Amino acid sequence: MEEISALFQGFAVVLSPMNILLMFVGIVLGVLIGVLPGLGGANGVAILLPLTFTMSPTSAIIMLSCIYWGALFGGAITSVLFNIPGEPWSVATTFDGYPMAQQGRAGEALTAAFTSSFVGAFMAVLMITFLAPLVAKFALKFGSPEFFAVYFLTFCSFVGMGKGSPFKILTSMALGFALAAVGMDTVTGQLRLTFGSAELMRGFDFLIAVIGLFGIGEILLSMEEGLRFSGKNARINLRVVLDTWKKLPQYWMTSLRSSLIGIWMGITPGGATPASFMGYGIAKKTSRNGAKFGTGEIEGVVAPETAAHAAGTSALLPMLALGIPGSPTAAVLLGGLLIWGLQPGPLLFVEQKDFVWGLIASMYLGNIVGLVVVLTTVPLFASILRIPFAIIAPVIIVICAIGAYTVHNAMLDIWFMLMFGAVGYLFKKLDYPLAPLVLALVLGDKAEDAFRQSMLVSQGDLSIMWSNPLVGSITTLALILLFWPLISKGWKKLSASRREELPVERPVD
């Protein structure tokens, strides 16, 4: 009951006209940041951080966190309408969101995405409110073997539950690992695959790859098909929103499962991007309509959006309770707290009680405000679909180029974006999946670092991956998911052979 009374005190802190205004401003700015490819929640928060130095720490963190949540909401908009993930965690949303828009169901897809984001964040905030001490104690147990096991679980779930040829999935993932290896080896400090180029020392940035693979690649395909945008006749109104809300309760199990996945990945920290992929993959495997995923299933939008928002929100817990940021945006917020003279950690809940619970209360209110803002502006985003593709395509290319350039302020990144665009076009023409490549590119270096650190500690002994119940259970589950297609085929053959061996009863004369 202490948490409830402290939460009410937090609401008393937050419910001031200025803080509520800052929530709306933060959400609107965040949605704009989420829509523009390449900016990202972390970059948006970092750019606007100096504006908050004259505010009180509570007001400042409320505005910055609402920018982050607005970016989480906004990333789904371009994913659904243009197949361009505004944020890395929106990649999985394109798999079914964009086909829904092509079928004239953009309003349904956007409403499902926004509502699922709200549900995922609400579940994560409930967890933060009531399970903070337990979760903080659990997260302290994670070392390099546990981190690698989580990444390994993500890769295996995608291979074992992926649609299409396992060979093509592995090929795509292998290319992603190769691209992730470019740059400086963080363990030894040696340069790898740079070929004497100073520009390649920083490697290939994930956002540049995503903008090229999905944005430019999709535009090239659309130009080949005749400069048309198939979603331009979509209609979005209040009836569409209400009809979508009537459908969503039947996916309550998917929402709950994706929320738990997102909370897990946010705390450990795996991040919102792998959480969205894992939520999508598991939903596809367990759903009755799993075979239809990728063709415009609303459940394929619900799962990744719920998981991504739950992960993005729960990533703030280890930052507050332990001083360990669970995401790049949480790292920026951590820097803001230090600038304001606040030291994140267990003592923060004692010494700055009003601040902590004011922030938690703002999570509840900020997500409600975010849902209201994005749903009421859905007709505005729908109007984008009425613009002829011959006009909107150059605009999208310019926005993509600006987004790619702003990542490092380097012209070379624009050329990389175009290169990835050509790769994305070829992959789609050859029916190779892009998602495994993107997943390996964003997590490959982190997984490699965790694995090599584990091997250094164990002196090359792989048994460290089963050295305790926590890491052992994660690794075992990962291997089961990796070989799940073979396991399921073997089980089916065994069941069929048993049925054939059963004696056939002959009718008595």
Q: Where are the alpha helices (DSSP H) in 287-388?
A: 299-314, 316-322, 328-339, 348-351, 353-376, 378-382
d(CA 251, CA 247): 8
* Average pLDDT over every residue of 344-361: 73
Residue 428 confidence class, pLDDT cut points 50, 70, 90: confident
* Average pLDDT over every residue of 45-58: 72
Top-confidence residue, 84 or 472: 472
Quick count: other Cβ atoms within 10 Å of Cβ 154?
A: 24
Q: Which whole-number Å values give the CA distances from 269 to 5, 70, 107, 262, 360, in the listed order? A: 29, 21, 33, 10, 19
Q: What angle separates helix 389-408 from helix 411-429, to the nearest 10 degrees?
A: 130
DSSP 114-146: HHHHHHHHHHHHHHHHHHHHHHHHHHTT--HHH
d(CA 168, CA 172): 6
d(CA 122, CA 12): 19
Q: What are phi and psi of 183, to 5 degrees?
A: 120, -150
Closest CA to 90 of 110, 63, 65: 110
Is pLDDT at 23 greater than 80 in this prediction? Answer: yes
State whether the Cα torsion 28-74-392-387 is positive or negative.
negative
Residues above pLDDT 90, as percent of the chain = 0
- The secondary element (H helix, E strand) that includes residue 192 is strand 191-192
DSSP 42-58: HHHHHHHGGGGTTS-HH
Is pLDDT at 211 greater than 60 in this prediction? Answer: yes
Rg (CA), the chain: 23
Q: Check residue 230 and give its pLDDT.
A: 44
Amino acid at residue number 138: F
Residue 441 tokens, joined:
């590119």
Q: Any residues with CB less than 8 A from the CB of 499 and at least 6 apart, and which?
A: none
Average pLDDT, the chain: 76
Which of 60-74, 80-94, 384-398: highest mean pLDDT? Answer: 60-74
Q: Which whole-number Å values give the CA distances from 456 to 146, 186, 188, 443, in the listed order? A: 15, 14, 12, 20
Is pLDDT at 140 greater than 70 in this prediction? Answer: no
Q: Which whole-number Å values give the CA distances from 445 to 75, 110, 374, 452, 500, in the listed order? A: 24, 33, 35, 10, 50
Length of the chain: 509
Alpha-carbon torsion angle 361, 252, 120, 371, nearest 10: -70
Residue 86 confidence class, pLDDT cut points 50, 70, 90: low
Alpha-carbon torsion angle 164, 170, 173, 178, nearest 10: -150
Encode 377-405: b = buried (16+ Cβ within 10 Å), e = exposed.
Answer: ebeebbebbeeebeebbeebbebbbebbb
Q: Any residues with CB less than 8 A from the CB of 38 and at least 6 apart, and which?
A: 207, 208, 211, 400, 402, 403, 404, 405, 406, 407
Q: Check residue 346 and give its pLDDT.
A: 62
* Average pLDDT over every residue of 76-97: 76
* Average pLDDT over every residue of 355-382: 78
Is pLDDT at 328 greater than 70 in this prediction? Answer: no
> Are the C-beta atoms of residues 261 and 74 closer than 8 Å to each other?
no
Residue 381 confidence class, pLDDT cut points 50, 70, 90: low
* Average pLDDT over every residue of 355-373: 82
For 284-298, 374-388, 476-490, which range has the lowest pLDDT when averaged over its residues?
374-388
Top-confidence residue, 308 or 434: 308
d(CA 155, CA 474): 12
Closest CA to 424 of 97, 232, 175: 175
Is pLDDT at 141 greater than 50 in this prediction? Answer: yes
Q: Check residue 232 and give its pLDDT.
A: 39
* Average pLDDT over every residue of 4-11: 75
Q: Check residue 166 and give its pLDDT.
A: 75
> Are the C-beta atoms of residues 27 and 70 closer than 8 Å to each other?
yes
Tokens 């169901």 belong to residue: 105
Q: What are phi and psi of 192, to 5 degrees?
A: -130, 135
Q: Check residue 229 and give its pLDDT.
A: 45
Residue 460 tokens, joined:
């090359």
Q: What is the pLDDT of residues 149-197, one digit of tens each?
A: 877 877 787 776 655 677 888 888 888 888 888 887 777 778 887 777 7
Q: Any residues with CB less than 8 A from the CB of 355 and at least 6 apart, and which?
A: 57, 58, 61, 342, 348
Is pLDDT at 330 greater than 60 in this prediction? Answer: yes
Q: Any residues with CB less than 8 A from the CB of 165 and at least 6 apart, and which?
A: none
Q: Check residue 475 and give its pLDDT.
A: 86
d(CA 452, CA 448): 6
d(CA 134, CA 86): 34
Is pLDDT at 400 greater than 70 in this prediction? Answer: yes
> Are the C-beta atoms of residues 129 and 7 closer than 8 Å to each other?
yes
Q: What is the pLDDT of residues 467-492, one digit of tens each?
A: 888 788 888 888 887 887 777 778 77
